[in-house]
Amino acid sequence: MMEVISFKLNGQEVTLKTDPFRRLLDIIREDFDCKGAKEGCGEGECGACAVLLDGRLVNSCLITAAMAAGKNIWTIEGYRETERFQLLKNKLAEHGSIQCGF
Ligand code: FES
């Protein structure tokens, strides 16, 4: 069963025809070439697949296409272009933060 699903991805309205149970992680990687979110555990434990969904950090391996419909999704590819990310990046660099713990 295929459905037409629309959502906002990195500020752009996108539409695709897909299985409503398909994982958001696979959609953003395979259909929209956003490879920043990665598959680690595939079961919601590691956070390697994290994206912002309506401003909340979620694990995209646990989000279906149907759950993403009508939502505003940001991946690191879009988020890194924002002013907020630039500020954060500059502050992390300024304080010499290079790894976990910051
Ligand atoms: Fe580990 Fe999604 S792949 S939380």
Probe residue for ligand 1, chosen from 27, 35, 51, 59 as the CB with the greatest number of ligand atoms within 8 Å: 59
**pLDDT of 102 higher than 70:** no
Helix (H) or strand (E) holding 57: strand 56-59
**Any atom of ligand 1 within 6 Å of the Cβ of 44:** yes
Give the integer Cα–Cα distance in Å for 45 and 61. Answer: 10
Tell me: the pLDDT tens digits for 59-96? 999 999 999 999 999 999 999 999 999 999 999 999 99
24 lines ligand 1 (CB under 6 A): no
This prediction has a pTM of 0.90
Q: How many CB atoms lie within 10 A of CB 18?
A: 18
